[in-house]
Structure 1
Amino acid sequence: MSFPAILAAASKTATGFDAHVPEDWLQGRTAYGGLSAALALESARTIADGLPPMRSAQVSFVGPLSGDVSVSSRILRQGRNATWVSSEVQSEGKVGLAATFVFMGPMESELHLNDAGAPDDTIAVDDAVIIPSDKGPGFISNFDLRHSLPRADERQPQMNRWARVRDRSGLDPMVELVLIADAMPPGVMPLFDSWRPISSMTWLINLLTPAPVTTDGWWQLRARGTYAEKGCSSQDMSVWNAAGEPIAAGMQSIAIFG
């Protein structure tokens, strides 16, 4: 069941909507984090008319979410330039995700800084090696994935991939981006000698443009581990479009069991 189909089947409520998370969107015993965050954003962006684009999100993965879920949102503050909206996703009456979104329109500025271009050795999408969708967590089947960098000579705490949502029909561009931006294993995964359980705890994502666009749905994702001690890993995350333009930057905290 695609994400657009999940939204189409959702039932509106006074503060959001009720939806169902099918098994092919699960990551272990909980919903894939990008799906839960995208549900929260879909609710937040429709809470008021005329909201500007979403520019930043702070997401906490509080507990497991699966099956029937309830998504609700409320405005925290609406100023002249920015609006803060809080969203929750609940399952069986318990909060599984809590998020705060900031919606803000463009403003005039004399400051121009952009040094976040895509890696120089990026492999073109058409030449990139396809990653099979029948391996890994079940939610992977909803994406097309390819390796975007040459294989490194030594193991590094970094992973780069091309990614595309297979069915993105009718999706708001910001919702599509949030849906796909978390579709990476932890950056420290290449350092593992064997598989071990992991769990995302928090995620901060900043949109670097009010209008994310790319070619044929392809985005390049990077997860780069910067720290891992005592079962906690911190990583930087980046998203570029097919032209190599920076689209989003983020940070995530991940629990590593073992």
Structure 2
Amino acid sequence: MHIDSLFDQVKTQISQSQLSVEISVPKNWTQGRTLYGGISASLAFQAVRGLVDSSKKLITLNTNFIGPIEAEVPFTIKVEKLREGKNTTVVRGDIFQNEKIALRALATFGIDRESNIQIDSLSKHQMERPQKASFVPIIPKITPNFLGNFEMAKVLGGWPFTGSKQSALHGWMRFKQPPITFTDAHLVAIIDMWPPAVIQMLRWPAPASTMTWNLEFIHPHNTFKNDEWFAYQATTRQASSGYAHTEANVWDESGALVAISRQSIAVFA
């Protein structure tokens, strides 16, 4: 199922008076025994977006992955507006499946204001826009199903479980089948597509899962082409005792920084 169809199901159910959504997601969006984190977080975001006026832009999205979400099993997204002020609005989105909470997302939105503070981003990259996507090795029970919805072009780093000496991961990403209109929900969905930067260092397959994911969105808020390539560079800040902390920058095709991604990851090896 295309991502636009999933987002449309959420948009048709959510409103100021209807604060919950019931949906199920097919197996082409799975990652091991659970849904791909980017799709579950983006569905929660799409639900909370429906409670906020379009004049307020997304500033941050904080997601806690609490438990697995099964494919093809209905789950409920419940949303709550925690605070609405003149300048900002904070909304929570929770996913429940089998009467257990599986995900909690907290989104902050704000209006653009005139400001005397203007500091341009110094974060740049030197990667050339790809001419074609990289070949992704398909290994049964190892390569996640959700990758079939995206294209990637790796520039630096190794594939998972190849014993790489690198703990950084650089490359480009886009949707294989472009959405009709590229929205913030699509950006949330695509940013998480790269594997944790540290698992390339392992020589054998081992479980790893993101526990918390913090996304910060750069202003002014850009618009994107539906087939846009996004540049991605992730570094590992620290890893020890079964946990890793990574940070990534995301740029659009023009080289503008559009998001900063930070993840806390459990590694079972």
Q: CA deviation at 1:71?
A: 0.9
Report the TM-score, using the length of structure 1 for normalisation. Answer: 0.90
State the partner residue of 1:236.
Answer: 247
> Is it true that 1:60 corresponds to 2:61 in the alignment?
no
Distance (Å, rounded) in 2 between the aligned partners of 1:173 and 1:220: 17
Deviates more, 1:238-247 or 1:108-117: 108-117
**1:123–1:148: 8 Å Cα contact kept in structure 2?**
no
**1:203–1:251: 8 Å Cα contact kept in structure 2?**
yes
State the partner residue of 2:185.
Answer: 175
1:203 is aligned, of 193, 206, 213, to 213
3-state SS of 1:74 partner: strand
Report the TM-score, using the length of structure 2 for normalisation. Answer: 0.87
2:149 is aligned, of 142, 147, 160, to 142
**1:72–1:87: 8 Å Cα contact kept in structure 2?**
yes
Amino acid at match of 2:104: A
State the partner residue of 1:187.
Answer: 197
**1:60–1:201: 8 Å Cα contact kept in structure 2?**
yes
Q: CA deviation at 1:18?
A: 1.2
**2:157–2:167: 8 Å Cα contact kept in structure 1?**
no
Check 1:150–1:91 CA distance in 2 against 1; reply closer, same or farther (3 A cut): closer
Q: CA deviation at 1:195?
A: 2.0
Q: CA deviation at 1:114?
A: 3.0
State the partner residue of 1:6.
Answer: 6
State the partner residue of 2:263.
Answer: 252
More strand by share: 1
Q: CA deviation at 1:194?
A: 2.2
Amino acid at match of 2:223: V
* Residues 44-103 of structure 1, C-alpha deviations (whole Å, 9 max, x = no match): 010244451111011100001122111111100011100000001111121111011001
1:223 is aligned, of 234, 242, 255, to 234
**1:55–1:207: 8 Å Cα contact kept in structure 2?**
yes
Deviates more, 1:142-151 or 1:70-79: 142-151
State the partner residue of 2:165.
Answer: 155
**1:55–1:210: 8 Å Cα contact kept in structure 2?**
no
How many residues align structurally? Answer: 254
Distance (Å, rounded) in 2 between the aligned partners of 1:93 and 1:148: 42
Distance (Å, rounded) in 1 between the aligned partners of 2:157 and 2:133: 10
**2:157–2:200: 8 Å Cα contact kept in structure 1?**
no
2:30 is aligned, of 12, 26, 30, to 26
Distance (Å, rounded) in 2 between the aligned partners of 1:116 and 1:19: 41
Check 1:170–1:211 CA distance in 2 against 1; reply closer, same or farther (3 A cut): farther
Distance (Å, rounded) in 2 between the aligned partners of 1:74 and 1:51: 19
Distance (Å, rounded) in 2 between the aligned partners of 1:70 and 1:116: 41
> Is it true that 1:87 corresponds to 2:71 in the alignment?
no
Q: CA deviation at 1:133?
A: 7.0
> Is it true that 1:131 corresponds to 2:135 in the alignment?
yes
Q: CA deviation at 1:108?
A: 1.6
3-state SS of 2:86 partner: coil
Structure 2: gaps of 5 or more residues: 159-163
Amino acid at match of 1:176: H
